Amino acid sequence: MARLVGVDLPREKRVEVALTYIFGMGLTRAQATLAATGISPDIRVKDLQEPDLAKLREFIEANYKQMRVTSSRVLRHRRKVKSKLPRITSP
């Protein structure tokens, strides 16, 4: 399996579709990435050469920031404070 940005891409799918397995990257963004790197969208992931994977990896890391979940519970968990606050009742 090819691994990009911490995601294993399925080997039997076309690169265009396989890139959508990366969180935050849809079909339009995947097509734009392939156009910018000069890789054919019709090639299968198993047929990608190492230089092609390196081009994809560099382009994705340079142009797309990692999408993160930012709910209050996740933020409190990252700061290592209680995520479930006690319920405050009025007197």
Whether this prediction's pTM lies above 0.85 is answered by no
Q: What share of the chain has pLDDT > 90, as a percent?
A: 23
Q: ∠68-33-9 over CA atoms, to 5°?
A: 65
pLDDT attached to residue 86 = 73
CATH topology for 2-78 is: Helicase, Ruva Protein; domain 3 (1.10.8)
Mean pLDDT of 65-80: 75
Q: Cα 57 from chain centroid?
A: 11
Q: Where are the domains of the chain?
A: 2-78
Tokens 């990435």 belong to residue: 33
The answer, yes or no, to whether residue 56 has pLDDT greater than 80, is: yes
**Residue 91 pLDDT grade (very low, low, confident, very high; cuts 50, 70, 90):** low
